Amino acid sequence: MTATPSMANCSDMEYGDCTNYTEVNMNTTEMTRPFIPAAINWPRITILSCVMIFGILANGSLIFIVLKNSFLRKTQNILFVNLMVGDLVCLLINVPFVIEYELMQGNTNVRGDFMCKFTTASLIMSACVVVYSLVALSIERYQKIADPFNRCGETCCSGAFRRCSIHSNGLIIAAIWICSFIVAAPVIVLAEYKINGCKWIAHHTDTAKIYKVFRAVTTFIIPFIMIVTVHIIIACTLLKSIRDPVVRNSELNRSLNGSGRQNRRRSPRIRSRVKIAVVVTVLSAMFFVAQLPGTIVNILFEFKSSLIHSPSFVAFYRWARIPFYVLCCFNPIMMYILSSRFRKQLILDCYFPSGLLVKYSSTSTHSRILFFFIFISITSIYIRFLVI
């Protein structure tokens, strides 16, 4: 019997049930099995291991800094911490199973319905937590910079909104995780463990197609539209302030300085908030670039099943998830590169845990260069990894 080409060497738990896509020879009762490569992909395993270890350290250090220092526990920093927690969920739960899947060449030690549901749902929830945290950060920056409630002066409504935003960090975080759980709920209900592995939702069925479209809309399209819209408004507000920085009752001056006083120089407060807006913009762009390949694979895989026999699609599929895993390392690195406060506090907490004060003016530039070279090194290794 001639074996029919199938989607081979699946490296993601979502499509690990490759035996579903083999074809049966009509003249026999034997089912063709997927191709199993003779050699283990050690470069892929090595990079994933480095990403996991370095990502855990980088995300953990940033979470530690914010939680240890009370003056850093602002709304935007709490949301950044929540984003890093989403990265840690992916690095601690999903990446180890992907590495195991590569080492065992298509087999897995995931046993039982609970572990099947837990590992599959955690991947979806981690991605949702990251993107919804970015949406919340964008809205928070929009409130601080564009400040639509202050266009007609300080009112009771705007004051109530500000008080609500200051004291509702826990509510915002809870809403993010609840929404993430709702998106992952169908997998938690339908995923099950069978003899040949953990099965998500039966592929190429109406249920699978509806769910994949639902995931694409709720975790990519809607957040993308919201973040782009908010950042366009923020950019327009900033450009308006640059063109006419001393206009009386300027929206930017009112929102950032709390008054309509004329000011020809940007205050440190303005520069700080603009820098945070830049950080959110960079992290959002990185997320959508990293998530795009996986979203494309999800949709194409369900609506055009013939692609599983295409070597080019299999090759594209093999690398579609890697950008998201690497992003879990890049998020904290970009935070350290773009934020001098986090770099300073990292050095103080690591080298001066007793609270000794040091002069940081020269160290700031050096640490920025250090984190930049770390970022470039990981990027270069990742590109080399793709070539291999």
Instruction: Give pLDDT tens digits for 244-278.
Output: 544 444 445 555 454 444 444 455 666 666 777 78
Domains of the chain: 13-42+71-322 (1.20.1070.10)
CB 280 within 8 A of CB 338: no
Q: How confident is the model at residue 365 (pLDDT cuts 50, 70, 90)?
A: low
Instruction: Give pLDDT tens digits for 204-245.
Output: 888 889 999 999 999 999 999 999 998 888 888 877 766 654
For residue 182, what pLDDT is reported? Answer: 95
Q: What is the distance between the alpha carbons of residues 272 and 12, in angstroms, rounded to a whole number? A: 40
Rounded to a whole number of angstroms, the CA Rg of the chain reads 24
Q: How many CB atoms lie within 10 A of CB 3?
A: 12
Instruction: Give pLDDT tens digits for 317-343.
Output: 877 878 888 888 888 888 888 777 888
Per DSSP, the three-state class of 192 is strand
Instruction: Give pLDDT tens digits for 81-131.
Output: 999 999 998 898 888 888 887 787 656 555 677 888 888 888 899 889 999
CA distance to 56, 135, 179, 323, 324, per residue, from 226 (Å): 29, 7, 16, 22, 20
Per DSSP, the three-state class of 193 is strand
**Stated pTM of the model:** 0.74
For residue 224, what pLDDT is reported? Answer: 93
Q: What percent of the chain has pLDDT over 90?
A: 14
Instruction: Give pLDDT tens digits for 171-209.
Output: 899 999 999 999 999 998 888 877 767 777 888 888 889
Which residues are CB-neighbours of 237 under 8 A, at least 6 positions away?
A: 145, 146, 251, 252
Q: What is the distance between the alpha carbons of residues 342 and 61, in angstroms, rounded to a whole number? A: 10
